[in-house]
Amino acid sequence: MPATIHDVAKLAGVGIGTVSSVLNNSRPVSEETRRKVLEAIEKLDFVPNPSGRRLSMGKTHTIAVIITYFTLASQFERLRGVMSVIAESDYDINLFAIETIPQRNKVFQTVPRRGRVDGLLIFSIHPTKEDLRRIRQQKIPVVLVEGYHPELSHIFLDDMAGARQAVEHLIGLGHQKIAYISDYLDDLFSSGFNRNRYMGYCQALEAAGLPVRPEYHRQGWHTRENGRQMALELLNLPDPPTAIFCFSDEFALGVLEAARDMNLRVPEDLSVVGYDDIELARFAQLTTVRQHLFESGVQGVELLFEAIENPDAPIKEIQLPTELVVRQTTAPPCR
C-alpha cells in the first residue's frame, strides 16, 4: 500500500537508481531531475522502507539498549541521556528491559546480531564469557554503561571510591556503627561486580579501624519497600547502627520512611546516605553519592556511535567522577 521507490521512479519518469541517488546524495543528479524526483516523492508521500534499506545496506541504523533494574529512577535518567542524543541522530533505538534470568538469556542470545542492530548499549550488566564470545563472533560494537570489562568499551563509575567517600564522610562525622543496605552481592546479572560498593564500604571501615559487622549488612532486591524493611530490621537490632549507607537512593528513601515509621529523627537519630543522586534525592534533602547519570547515557551512545563508525578502533574507557553531595540526612550521632 505505501509507495515504493518504483512508484516514485515511474511518476518522475526516471530510473530507480536515480531516485536512490537523490535520496542518499550518493551520486550527482542534475537539478532538473532532482526536482522532478523530489516532487514525486512529495506527491506520493514516499518514505523509504527501512527493512529494504537495511537488507540492502547490511546496516540497521538501530541500536539496542539493554537495561536491567528497569524500575530504578537512575536507569530512567540514563535512558533520558541516551534519548537526547538519539533524537539528534538518524538512529532508532530498540529497548530491552530484562528482569529475570530467562529474559537475560533470551535477549543476549538473540539481540547481539549483525543484521539485527548496529550496536549495543548495555546498562549495569557484566557480560559473561559466553556473552563476550558471541559479541566477538558477531563483531558487533558494544558499550557498557556502569559496567566494566577489560575487553569492551565502557563508561566506568568508580563505585569503590564512591562508596568509600560516603562511608568516610559518616566516619568523619563520628559514626562508628554504620550499616550497609545493598543489592544482592551475588547478583544475577552483574556477576558480582556490584560488590565494588561493598568493598568500598569495607575499606573505609577498616581504614578507620572499625569492624565490619555482618549483622550490619543487609541484602535485598532493589525496591524502596525492601529498603524500608531492611532498615526496620537494622534499627530493631539490640545494638542498632547510627548511620545507614545505601546502595541506591531508592533504598535510602525506603530507609527514610522506616525512620519516620519508628519516629526517629533524621539526621539527629539516624544518618542516611544514598547513592545515585536521582532527581528526587534533592527533594528529599538526601546526602548521597552523585553519579552523572544523564551524562553517562549521553557518553555511552556517543562512544557507541564512534565504535560503529570505526569498528576497528581500540576500545575506549571513560571514567566519570562520583562525588559526595552532602545534604541534610547526615549529622554527627547523638548517642
Partner DNA sequence: GGAAAACTCGGAAACGTTTCCGTATAGACT
Partner DNA sequence: AGTCTATACGGAAACGTTTCCGAGTTTTCC
Binding site for DNA (CB under 7 A): 2, 4-6, 13-21, 23-24, 26-30, 32-34, 46, 48-49, 51-53, 55-58, 115
Rg (the chain; Cα; Å): 25
Sheet arrangement for strand 323-325: 217-219, 178-182, 243-246, 271-276, 287-290, 323-325
Task: Of 116, 122, 163, 156, give the one whose Cα is nearest residue 274.
Answer: 163
Selected binder of a second copy within 5, 73, 246, 301 (CB under 8 A): 73
What 3-state class would DSSP assign to 121? Answer: strand
- 89: how many CB neighbours lie within 10 A of its CB? 13
57 vs 237 by CB, closer to a second copy: 57
Residues 91-150 that bind a second copy (CB under 8 A): 92-95, 97-99, 103, 109-110, 113-116, 134, 137-139
Site size toward a second copy (CB under 8 A) is: 47
Residues 265-294 that bind a second copy (CB under 8 A): 279-280, 283-284
139 binds, among a second copy, DNA, none (CB under 5 to 8 A by kind): a second copy
Selected binder of a second copy within 157, 170, 235, 256 (CB under 8 A): 256
Using CA atoms in the order 71, 76, 79, 85, what is the torsion angle rounded to 10 degrees? Answer: 170
Q: Is 166 in the site for a second copy (CB under 8 A)?
A: no
- Name the minimum Å distance from CB 45 to DNA: 11
> Residues 261, 262, 268, 271: is their CA dihedral positive or negative?
negative
In degrees, rounded to 5, the angle at the alpha carbon of residue 178 between the alpha carbons of residues 174 and 182 is: 145
Binding mask 291-310 for a second copy (x = CB under 8 A): --------------------
27 vs 80 by CB, closer to a second copy: 80
- Name the minimum Å distance from CB 22 to a second copy: 17
Task: Of 11, 14, 61, 68, give the one whose Cα is nearest residue 41.
Answer: 11
- Name the minimum Å distance from CB 195 to a second copy: 27
27 vs 133 by CB, closer to a second copy: 133
- Written as one string, the DSSP assignment of 283-306 is HTT-EEEE--HHHHHHHHHHHHHH
6 vs 260 by CB, closer to DNA: 6
87 vs 239 by CB, closer to a second copy: 87
Residues 195-224 that bind a second copy (CB under 8 A): 224
Whole-number Å distance between alpha carbons of 193 and 125: 9
Using CA atoms in the order 202, 205, 209, 211, what is the torsion angle rounded to 10 degrees? Answer: -70
- Written as one string, the DSSP assignment of 37-92 is HHHHHHHHT----HHHHHHHHT---EEEEEEESTT-HHHHHHHHHHHHHHTTSS-E
What 3-state class would DSSP assign to 217? Answer: strand
93 vs 157 by CB, closer to a second copy: 93
135 binds, among a second copy, DNA, none (CB under 5 to 8 A by kind): none
Residues within the interface to a second copy (CB under 8 A): 1-2, 45, 47, 49-52, 54-55, 60, 62, 70-71, 73, 76, 80, 83-84, 86-87, 92-95, 97-99, 103, 109-110, 113-116, 134, 137-139, 224, 253, 256-257, 279-280, 283-284
